[in-house]
């Protein structure tokens, strides 16, 4: 464990570790340090390399304001960019973390949150991820940045694989070695994430180098199904090279101006996921994601979990009732969804789209094509994979708690549903933050945030969120205005997608 010195001066404080001294600032509860490097800057020859140890510095490093964000393509949807924006903060080293600690002299349990964004966008310095409420309630909260898109996940012959995942592990190693100096307990670390962050959480269960770095895990709207084989990842890299007119190598891509690289990245994402070219039929959702490389990620995470990976890790995992509503109602896609489009989009998910649509129509006889689209896409993308994962853990006797977030806001004339990302400010108790407020509305129920935040705090502290574990009754906690434990709420999804690969 790193020897550290701590000194408090007025409303700022200094913490000194082997890396150097950092100045933090008084927060609403405890202290906060922002933009602390956990690795060396990923620039020059390090841009496509595995993360390297952070550089030591002389004097005092200011950690009172957000650090730089990683280089990331702009969101492809202007609507999403307006509703749930990614802040962009210039600077050299985006491999940094932010922490909120209740007591520099304490030994608090630690929550490490991994942001979402499809492994292509996002940042840990999004204001709705502010950890002040966790510090208030005795948890040391950490948010991290990691490399994304090409820099983080492109499979290149002359570069380290899974650089974004390696960054996450490097952050966890930094936490293991240094968090005690900030008042945290390195033996009580919980990793958590939403969307791609949740996928990363489940994938880290299968990463040998991550073993022992966390005791618990929380997965919000994501599982371990979203990974590429080497061959599929190489297709992505090849298309990127063709788009840019360069060889698909780290050396060649390093010479491409950043703006041009980002433009090409979004063009490739669009081409591979549009469904217009049968060569890319396998690319049904994410283009950049972890790769089963046989080394850092030796096997598919779901197979590894079934074989016992993460057996000693307590897991809290859940879904939102209408995940895909985020991408349908606010974007105006609902108006374009008719029976023909519904069947065509479903054809990308299974071999018999007509039968699948009929199955959903029988379950939801009054639903519009847009509502059926949301139900189908939500179940394929997140709900059915989550059901399979918790069943795998149950059969193996692994400790797992499950939830379904079901609160539906009145925004968009009530058509949005309990959509993707909606639960985040409830978890962080940041309902007053402007991020996503047009989705949830200005009158989102604080009582539900109180209950959800308390459940997350309890799980981080002792592994029990306050409801029964998932068992043979398939018990979920339905999180709504009146939370309740319910039996098998994902039964329809399970039966609809039985035997179909994701």
Which positions are catalytic? 195, 323, 420
Supply 104's token pair: 């520099």
CA–CA separation, 120 and 126 (whole Å): 15
Q: Is the dihedral of CA 75, 407, 431, 428 positive or negative?
A: negative
User: Which residues are CB-contacts of 317 (< 8 A; sequence separation ≥ 6)?
Assistant: 198, 202, 218, 219, 220, 223, 386, 389, 390, 400, 401, 402, 403
Supply 123's token pair: 């940042």
Q: Where are the alpha helices (DSSP H) in 188-257?
A: 196-204, 230-244, 250-253
Using DSSP's 3-state secondary structure scheme, residue 174 falls into: helix
13 CA to centre of own chain: 31
CA–CA separation, 216 and 113 (whole Å): 12
Contact yes or no for 135/27 (Cβ under 8 A): yes
CA–CA separation, 274 and 284 (whole Å): 8
Supply 448's token pair: 């539900």
Using DSSP's 3-state secondary structure scheme, residue 474 falls into: coil
CA–CA separation, 311 and 308 (whole Å): 5
CA–CA separation, 216 and 455 (whole Å): 14
Contact yes or no for 458/485 (Cβ under 8 A): no
- Cα–Cα distances in angstroms (integers) from residue 349 to residues 277, 285, 433, in the given order: 15, 10, 36
Find residue 400's DSSP bridge partners. Answer: 315
334 CA to centre of own chain: 26
Contact yes or no for 99/153 (Cβ under 8 A): no
CA–CA separation, 142 and 145 (whole Å): 10
Please name which of 467, 432, 430 lies closest in space to residue 136, comparing C-alpha atoms: 430
| R_g over Cα of the chain | 22
**What number of CA atoms fall less than 13 Å from residue 284's CA on the CB side?**
17
231 CA to centre of own chain: 24
Within a 10 A sphere around the Cβ of 55, how many other Cβ atoms? 12
What 243-250 contacts at long range (C-beta under 8 Å, 24+ apart), as own/partner pairs, is 243/267, 243/268, 248/156, 248/157, 249/156, 249/157, 249/158, 249/159, 250/47, 250/48, 250/156, 250/158, 250/159
């Amino acid at each position: 464990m790193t020897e550290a010195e701590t000194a408090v001066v007025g409303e700022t404080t200094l913490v000194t570790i082997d890396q150097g001294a950092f100045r933090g600032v008084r927060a609403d509860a405890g202290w906060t340090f922002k933009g602390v490097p956990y690795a060396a800057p990923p620039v020059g020859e390090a841009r496509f390399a595995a993360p390297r140890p952070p550089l030591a510095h002389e004097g005092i490093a200011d950690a009172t304001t957000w650090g730089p964000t990683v280089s990331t393509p702009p969101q492809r949807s202007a609507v999403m960019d307006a509703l749930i924006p990614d802040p962009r903060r210039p600077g050299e080293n985006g491999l940094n973390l932010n922490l909120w600690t209740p007591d520099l002299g304490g030994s608090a349990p630690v929550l490490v949150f991994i942001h979402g964004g499809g492994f292509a966008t996002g940042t840990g310095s999004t204001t709705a991820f502010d950890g002040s409420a966790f510090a208030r309630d005795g948890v040391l909260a950490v948010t991290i940045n990691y490399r994304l898109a090409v820099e983080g996940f492109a499979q290149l012959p002359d570069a380290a694989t899974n650089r974004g995942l390696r960054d996450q592990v490097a952050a966890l190693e930094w936490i293991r070695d240094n968090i005690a100096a900030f008042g945290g307990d390195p033996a009580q670390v919980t990793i958590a994430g939403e969307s791609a962050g949740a996928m990363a959480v489940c994938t880290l269960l299968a990463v040998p180098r991550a073993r022992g770095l966390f005791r618990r895990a929380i997965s919000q709207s994501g599982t371990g199904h979203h990974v590429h084989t080497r061959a599929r990842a190489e297709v992505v890299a090849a298309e990127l090279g063709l788009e840019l007119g360069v060889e698909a190598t780290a050396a060649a891509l390093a010479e491409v101006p950043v703006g041009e690289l980002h433009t090409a990245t979004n063009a490739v994402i669009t081409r591979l996921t549009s469904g217009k070219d049968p060569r890319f039929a396998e690319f049904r959702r994410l283009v950049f994601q972890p790769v089963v490389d046989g080394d850092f990620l030796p096997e598919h995470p779901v197979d590894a979990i079934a074989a016992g990976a993460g057996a000693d890790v307590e897991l809290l995992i859940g879904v939102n009732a209408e995940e895909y509503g985020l991408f349908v109602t606010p974007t105006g896609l609902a108006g374009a969804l008719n029976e023909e489009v519904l069947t065509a989009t479903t054809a990308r998910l299974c071999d018999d789209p007509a039968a699948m649509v009929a199955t959903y129509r029988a379950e939801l006889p009054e639903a519009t094509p847009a509502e059926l689209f949301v139900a189908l896409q939500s179940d394929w993308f997140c709900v059915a994979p989550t059901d399979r994962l918790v069943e795998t853990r149950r059969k193996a006797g692994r400790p797992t708690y499950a939830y379904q977030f079901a609160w539906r806001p009145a925004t968009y004339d009530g058509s949005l549903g309990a959509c993707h990302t909606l639960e985040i400010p409830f978890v962080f108790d940041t309902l007053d933050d402007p991020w996503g407020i047009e989705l949830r509305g200005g009158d989102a129920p604080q009582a539900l945030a109180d209950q959800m935040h308390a459940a997350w705090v309890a799980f981080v502290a002792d592994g029990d969120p306050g409801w029964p574990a998932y068992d043979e009754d398939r018990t979920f906690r339905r999180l709504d205005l009146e939370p309740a434990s319910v039996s098998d709420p994902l039964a329809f999804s399970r039966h609809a997608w039985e035997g179909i690969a994701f």
